[in-house]
Every structure is written in structure tokens, then in C-alpha cells.
Structure 1
């Protein structure tokens, strides 16, 4: 008779425990990041009256006779399923989805939580405001994050200052239009003198070149004729597009010879033409001889001109269009300069706008096209003056860069040579500043000119706001327009998160059955952080109410066991009366 009473009592205790867990779940239905629990029952030890017997030759086997002694709580399981995401609009709130927990610290003790209702305190510490626990993660240094070290308190102070950083690199990217037309005719403007390079074929020139050498030995790819028509020399220029169809007549005689300048292997040479008249075709085909004379009359031919408002230049392009320019320098056989501007910063954080021009200067189906990168539209100029506020003048120098592309439109790393621009400053910053120009990311395909340059460096600034992304990176936005990483929130993952020990205030600690924390970034662990949101409790009210009814009925049933057992005991006692 007593066994039934004890069974009933164990049932009452078990269902009371289950009711306590259900009530705790319901009480925390609105607790941020709360994880509900459930109770599972298992029967206790049974009293064996007779054991089981095995079958014999002339009798079958028998089962054991056992009387159960009640029930017990087998486990109280922590259900680590995700709760719903509740948007809050507060930029320091974080919602974690997946198998992970935030890491917080108090003193030397490490805790874990799903409560992401964080904020910055008066000292810039990122904390759980209800308990003051420090949120753990990795701090960035000058905007660079290293997440392979130990975690630490995240601190981002309001009004944090950013020092000025001088620019030392300009990076260009995107595309130059391979189909950009070239200039086939120039009229108007002011003719200019450009000296370049010519190639001599079949003759090895030196300072004592033989008189009478035929001009057929000279391969001249371009030339220059001054605008006064009485000058005594032709400046021969490589890759400037002097073709056989060029117009212009050169008259050379004993009394008015023509001096021709050549450059080979870095040395300048001079040869002289005398006798008769010849044009560009004559020079290319080589119908005139070379001898030592002086003087000469040059007529009519223009290879380059500078445009002004008073003396504009009319350019005819290879696509048949005509363009009138009122500024800049333009070369026959070259393309129209593509203008880019890049902001760079000096050591004091002052911004300087640096103009850089891209001009297509050679078209070759064998070697690929060549562009010239320069500081002005005149591809031979090596310096430019930048006038800035308050009368400040900055001088920029850059040796023109020959930018080679392969016939497939790729940057030709075998031919290209990197060069550096120099700024000469007069504003109290470091006087000379060198800035490397990186062109390796450029391509040259037919289409549009999308070339764009970006300089590094920045002016001084002050932190004005922060934002947090889905990877837990805290980004600072500064008054100088710079955005940089300040820190990254750490996430811990456990093999058995349900085995963690609750310590109150929505905090957990490791237990013997939780495993050790694997602390990484959200991306590394495959979890997701939702900024400006919190995780709601994962308590299912409908399920809890259903469990409550079941638990109530179970409790009532077990109480009935005790009542009936008591009545049976009373009947037994009354048999003696």
C-alpha cells in the first residue's frame, strides 16, 4: 500500500518541477535573448518480485515481475533555438542568429549571453548597461583589424580624433577606351615646339655622320614645323603620327639648308638636308641626301598647337568629327587628352587637387597601344603649377609616363615602368612629397573611358558616429569623410550550448558538459549579426499553456493516487473495528 503513496508523491514533485519551469518560461516571455527550458520525466527504480526465466525444453520462459516506484525528473533541457528578430532602431543593439553567443567580461570572469542590448558608457566602453559587463572583441589599429589575437574590451570614445595622413600613392582603375579617335588635322591656335625621338634604320649615326647619307636610311615617324615659316630646323618626334599624307613643304638649298635633329640610344644627333624642295612624303621615302649645310626655309606644316580663348584650335578626329578647343595642347596623331583629378593630402592634412591627363599617343596592331600619362595636356611637360586658396602655389612634377597595353587590352607589365609624382609645397607642410602612381589595374578595351584615380591619405578628423554591420565590425565615421574599422565583436560557439550554466541576468558560463568556447568572428562561425535589432525570447506561449494544462492534469492525477491510497489504508484499519 505504501508504494502507491510514494509513487504519487514522486509524481507530484515531478509535475511541480515541470510547472516551475513552465512558469519561468512564461515569466521571461519578453526577456531579451531568453532561452526556454523543458522538463523530461523518467521512471525510477522498480522493485523486482521475480526475475525473468529462460525457456527450457518442456517449459517456456517467463518475464520479470517488477513494480515501479514512481517517476523522477530526467532532465531540464535548455532549448537554444533562435528567437524572433525585433528591430529597435538603436545602432548599438545587436541580434545574434545561429549557434553562438556574445562574450562579455566582469573583472576576470568571462560570461556568454544572447542579450545584445549593448551601448557605450561615459568612457566609450561597449557594455551591457544592466550589469556593466564589458563586451569583448578585437580593437583595430589605424583602421586595420587583426582577429587572430586575444580578445579585449571594446572601447570607442566619442570625439575620438584622427591624425592627418599624407598621401603616398594614387591608384587608378577601370578602363581607357581603345577606340578613342586620334587627331588627324590641326588648325588655328599657337604652334608649339616639341622635341622627341626618331629611329634611324640602316645607318649607325654618330657625331661625324658621313655627308651625303641618303634620307632613305631615315625612318621618321613624326615631325614639327614652327609657325614662323623661317626656322632652320625640324624637330623629329617619335610616335607623334607624322604620316605620308601630311601636308607641308620644306625648301632646302645651299643658301637655306635644313637641320634635322635625331635622338638614338639617349644621344642627340644632327644631320643636314640641302638641295631642292621636299615634303613629308619625300623625307619618309628618302629622295633627298644629307650634307653639312645651314639655314633652311620650312613652310606650312603643323604637328602640335596650344589653344587659348583668343586663339582656339580646331581639331579633326579620325572618326570624322570636328572639335573646337579653347585650352590645352594637342598633338597630331594623338588622341584627345582624358582629364582626371585626384585629391591628395600633405603632412598637415591640406587637400591638393592634382590633375592627371591620359593621352593616346601610339596605335600599333603589333605591339599594342601606348598612352602617355602627364600633368598637362602637353605630353612633353614635366611640371604643373596648382594655384590654391589664399594665394598658395603648389608645384607638381612628373616625368611623363608611357603606359603600354598588350594587343588584348591588358596592362603590359613587361614594358611599363612605375614613376612617382612630386609635390613642392609652400604652406608649412613637408616641402617635398612623393606620390607613387599605380596604373596596374587599368585595362584598355573599346567602349567607354571609365578611368578613375583615388589617392590615399586624409585630413585630420573627429569621430562623429559609429555603425555596426552583420559581421560585427564597428565602423567609425569621421568629420573628414573617412570611414574606418574601430573594432569587431567576438562570438563564442560551444559544442553543447544547452550544457551551459545559467548565472542570472541572461548570462551563461561554461560547464563540464558544454565544451570549451571557440571564440571567432561571426563569419568564421557561420552565424549572423543583425544590427539595430534584438533577439526576442524563444518562448512559445501556446506551447507553454498546453504544457501547463497537461502538467495540471498530471498533478491532479498524482494527487488522486494519494487520496485513493489513503482511503484504502483507512479501509484496512477499519477491518479491525
Structure 2
């Protein structure tokens, strides 16, 4: 039997497999984060017709006479390092890695797979999962970050709890709820004019704070002249406490705070920092520090003798104001994969961070379908890290496109077709030669 027949058959097989690879690439031209593949060929064994020999005294060297027996596929390799282009989606849960890393996903919190496809969603339990198959996205929960080799777990980005309705007849709601934080600091600022006529009846000052229960309360104070008729001495009284519904709440007896100012420079000499404790059956406010050091006692140069003192929650740097309870309104992502939750009370907290994996030989990863890869002996073990460790970053609202180059695929398709045709021609020509050989006996 002619060797050319078998060589041509092997050529048909290799070109058919290459066409399969090209067809798969083209079919995935719009697959998110798809990495194109290419086929490598090798020649196969050679039959030695005549062995070679070295040069002698009277003869030259002779090369071996060998006939090849066709071709074979050496490899189908993945172009894993070529970055796909950026596709804008506008969905904050769509993420794209720029760099060599892979998202870590799992179907059961034990088996690990890896993906470049960042089209994610949040399931009914508040976990971050892949859109296509519901695999959990892995990372580190809480304020801490991902470190090299960190132990990762699924990311629960919405911690839903049951919150009772405001009224007894309102049903409970399942929401991501953030408890409020109490106000721990407040301060008064401005001037108290001893000739201000409103001081005789008590000048009103009011400001809102947040109690230990995270609810807002309005504290109404009055400043009036002390009974000792000293124009530089005043009393600060808590008149009433109003809750968020505008109702007056019952609090324990409040002892007036005595404010004494220097007669010469108008600076406060007594009562500059006091601890205010508001408690009682109707309020869960607790205590906070009241700073009065920014108040003065000067006669006003303006007609009418008006005091300019005002009350503020927080300290003079704007800190320790407290905040009310809130509901989650938005999830966002940082370029390092950090996950942030923004609440209706204006607070933003870090909920966790997405971890990524890198490999010594990413081309050795095995494709397992569903835009997933599995580690292999050739890829090496996954190295868990922060995406920024090797200079990478994560963008939100975009996805990585397929890295298939259609121009290249069509060019490869043409050369593959020509190769297949040429090998088929070898078969038909070899068959014609066999027919001639067969006709010699007639």
C-alpha cells in the first residue's frame, strides 16, 4: 500500500481538527472573556530507506534516505494572555479584570474553578454569584483585605434581616439593615451678649442628635442669666426632648449647667466641657460631651444686643456626629475588588473584597465549559492574592470581550481549507496510481 495514502489521511485528520478549533473560535466571538485557541502540528515517524554514512578516504558522506509518514496535532493551546477589549454594560455587578488574574468561583464552597467572566449577580441569600450557573464568587468578608495566600470564602454582600414595621399593623421587611450610631460630641459656638433681652426669659437653642437606638432626637436648651445677677454668669438648661415623630419624651431631671466667663476677656472659665446624660423612660439617648469652649461673652456692637450663639452636633472637626439607622441603597466596587455598601443614612462601609488567583503557567489551565477553567498539573496551584499585587485592577460596569480576531480566523480558515484540499488530492492521485498498477496484469 502506498505511504502517501496514509500520510494524506493523517493530513486530513489534522486539518479537520484545526477546522474544528477555528469553528469553535468563531462561534465564541461574542462570548464574554473567551480566550481563543490555536492548533499546532508536528510530523510523525519517518521510515528509513537507507541509512547515512560518514565520509571516507575515497568517498563523501551520505545522508540517510527517509520518508515521512504524515502529520499529527501536537497541541491545541489557549491564547490566555491576550486581554479582550472592554465592553461597557452600565451594570455595577459586571466586573472586568485588567491583568493576568482570574476570579475564583465555586459551586459548593469547596471545589475551585477560575474564570475571567465577571458577569455577576446577587442571589436570594445576598451572595455574589456568577450569572450563568450561580457559582459563588470567592473573597474575604469584612473590613480587612485580601492577602497573599488568604483563606477565601463566598461573599455575602447583602445581609438581609427582618425589620418590624414602624406601625403595629405594618408587615416586617427583609432588608440589609445598618444600625445607627449615637452622637458622642456636640458644641456651642458664638457670643452671649449680656444685654440680650431674650436672656431674661431664656434664649432658646435646639439641635438634633442621634441616640443609642440610632433614632434622631431634638434637644431644646435655654440659656438665661444666673440668679446671682452677675452679667458674666449664665445657666444652660435642657427644656425638652422631642422624638422623630415630634412627640415630647419623658427624661430624668436635668441639672442646669453654670457657665462663667471672664469679665475682662470674655472667655469661658467654667463649664467649657461637660458630659450631658439624657436618660429616662421615654428616651434612649445616653450621654455625649458638650463643648462650650468656643463661646464668648462680649457686649454686641450691633444695635439690639443680639446673642449669636448656636448649637452643632459633632465636634469642631465635623466628627462624632452619629447617624441614624439605614437601609442598603447601593453596592459598588473599588479597583482592588473591594465591595462597598452605601446606606440611606449616608454611610458607606466595606463589606468585603474579591480575591483573585494567578498561576505559574496559565496556559496550562483546562477549560471545563461555562467560561470556567480548572487547575491542572501543568498550570500549577492557584496563588490567591489581591488583584493589585501584580499591577492589575478591576473595573465595574464593564465586561471583558472575547479575544477572537476574526480576520485571523478567516485567514486560518482559508489555509486550512487549502491544506485539506491538497491532502484529498494526494489521496485521489495515489488512487489513480494504484489503478494503473492494477491494470498492468491485463
TM-score by length of 1: 0.56
Shift, 1:395, TM fit: 8.7
Greater gyration radius: 1
CA deviation string 1:450-483 (max 9, x = no partner): x733226432212122112222222111111111
Closer/same/farther in 2, CA of residues 452 and 72 from structure 1, 3 Å limit? same
CA deviation string 1:338-385 (max 9, x = no partner): xxx99864322245799xxxxxxxxxxxxxxxxxxxxxxx99999896
- Partner Cα distance (1:28, 1:496) in 2: 23
Match of 1:161 in 2: 177
Match of 2:118 in 1: 116
Shift, 1:56, TM fit: 3.7
Match of 2:77 in 1: 77
CA contact (8 A) 1:167 1:435 kept: no
| Equivalent residue for 1:429, pick from 279, 284, 309 | 284
Matched, 1:7 2:7: yes
TM-score by length of 2: 0.72
Kindly report which structure 2 residues correspond to 1:385-464, keeping only aligned pairs within 5 A, or say none.
389=242, 422-426=275-279, 428-429=283-284, 431-433=286-288, 452-455=317-320, 457-464=322-329
Match of 1:489 in 2: 354
Kindly report which structure 2 residues correspond to 1:18-37, keeping only aligned pairs within 5 A, or say none.
18-37=18-37
SS in 2 for 1:524: coil
Shift, 1:507, TM fit: 1.0
Match of 2:225 in 1: none
Match of 2:387 in 1: 522
SS in 1 for 2:420: helix
Closer/same/farther in 2, CA of residues 47 and 460 from structure 1, 3 Å limit? same
SS in 2 for 1:41: strand
| Equivalent residue for 1:135, pick from 113, 134, 137 | 137
Match of 1:91 in 2: 92
CA contact (8 A) 2:145 2:353 kept: no
- Partner Cα distance (1:482, 1:25) in 2: 46
SS in 1 for 2:97: strand
Kindly report which structure 2 residues correspond to 1:516-555, keeping only aligned pairs within 5 A, or say none.
516-555=381-420
SS in 1 for 2:49: strand
Closer/same/farther in 2, CA of residues 13 and 480 from structure 1, 3 Å limit? same
- Partner Cα distance (1:51, 1:395) in 2: 115
Match of 2:62 in 1: 62
Match of 1:206 in 2: none
Quick check: 478-487 or 7-16, which moved more?
478-487
Shift, 1:62, TM fit: 2.6
Closer/same/farther in 2, CA of residues 398 and 120 from structure 1, 3 Å limit? farther
- Partner Cα distance (1:527, 1:84) in 2: 15
Shift, 1:101, TM fit: 1.1
- Partner Cα distance (1:58, 1:353) in 2: 117
SS in 1 for 2:428: helix
Closer/same/farther in 2, CA of residues 343 and 115 from structure 1, 3 Å limit? farther
- Partner Cα distance (1:420, 1:147) in 2: 43
Shift, 1:532, TM fit: 1.1
SS in 1 for 2:125: coil
- Partner Cα distance (1:51, 1:572) in 2: 29
SS in 2 for 1:452: coil
- Partner Cα distance (1:95, 1:491) in 2: 12
Closer/same/farther in 2, CA of residues 306 and 136 from structure 1, 3 Å limit? same
Match of 1:565 in 2: 430
Shift, 1:574, TM fit: 1.2
- Partner Cα distance (2:235, 2:65) in 1: 106
Shift, 1:125, TM fit: 1.8
Stretches of structure 1 that go unaligned for 5 or more consecutive residues are: 171-188, 190-304, 312-326, 328-340, 355-377, 401-418, 437-450
Stretches of structure 2 that go unaligned for 5 or more consecutive residues are: 161-174, 220-230, 261-271, 292-315
Shift, 1:397, TM fit: 8.3
- Partner Cα distance (1:399, 1:572) in 2: 125
RMSD over aligned Cα atoms: 3.8
- Partner Cα distance (1:44, 1:470) in 2: 50
Shift, 1:549, TM fit: 0.4
